[in-house]
């Protein structure tokens, strides 16, 4: 078979995940969510391990796409964030973390609501974005998922902040989102 006749490489499906509020518990202050500030505060939410194991077994690439602006703000060290990610990777079947350490004024392409991190991850892992999902608990996650062409799943905790205007599914947890995604597979 010549190089021109080679079969195309099949793209894989992915589930893109926000970190705080999707995988681990947020710290709520006056109804607003904040990231944990230490490894000791990092708590994996109930049902997350089971949901991710089921999604991985079904062939989904699991990619965390997270904004961590506290690093740019000088509130949290990059080493602490990376230690949290190493801990989560040791406990959960996550293929990769794509972390934006910038703040809004930096105007980078990887900071949600922009979709640069999803596009870069798709290129690296040969992901079909139209067949993939973005699961998040804030409007930025859903906007990034829409911009990348993914099906969006909004975990609605009723935070005291702007909610996404449009999403494909509204769910109570990652576990519930995984059931919908897996039912779609059948």
CA distances from 10 to 1, 55, 102, 123 (A): 18, 18, 34, 13
Any residues with CB less than 8 A from the CB of 111 and at least 6 apart, and which? 67, 69, 100, 102, 103, 104
Rounded CA-CA distance 111/99 in Å is 8
Rounded CA-CA distance 45/48 in Å is 6
Q: Look up residue 5 and give its two tokens.
A: 């006749």
Catalytic annotation present for 18: yes
Rounded CA-CA distance 131/5 in Å is 25
Selected catalytic residue, list 18, 70, 137, 141: 18
Selected catalytic residue, list 20, 70, 137, 141: 20
Bridge partners of residue 61, in order along the sequence: 14
Which H or E run includes 181?
Answer: helix 174-185
Catalytic residues: 18, 20
């Amino acid at each position: 078979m010549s190089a021109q006749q080679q079969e195309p490489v099949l793209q894989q499906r992915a589930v893109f995940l926000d970190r705080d509020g999707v995988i681990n518990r947020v710290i709520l202050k006056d109804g607003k969510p904040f990231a944990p500030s230490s490894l000791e505060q990092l708590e994996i939410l109930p049902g997350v391990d089971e949901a991710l194991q089921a999604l991985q077994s079904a062939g989904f690439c699991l990619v965390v796409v997270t904004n961590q602006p506290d690093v740019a703000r000088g509130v949290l060290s990059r080493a602490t964030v990376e230690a949290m990610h190493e801990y989560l990777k040791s406990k959960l079947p996550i293929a990769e973390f794509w972390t934006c350490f910038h703040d809004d004024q930096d105007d980078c392409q990887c900071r949600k609501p922009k979709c640069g991190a999803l596009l870069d991850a798709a290129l690296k892992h040969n992901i079909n974005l139209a067949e993939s999902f973005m699961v998040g608990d804030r409007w930025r996650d859903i906007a990034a998922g829409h911009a990348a062409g993914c099906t969006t799943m909004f975990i609605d905790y009723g935070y005291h902040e702007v909610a996404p205007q449009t999403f494909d599914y509204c769910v109570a947890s990652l576990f519930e989102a995984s059931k919908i995604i897996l039912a779609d597979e059948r």
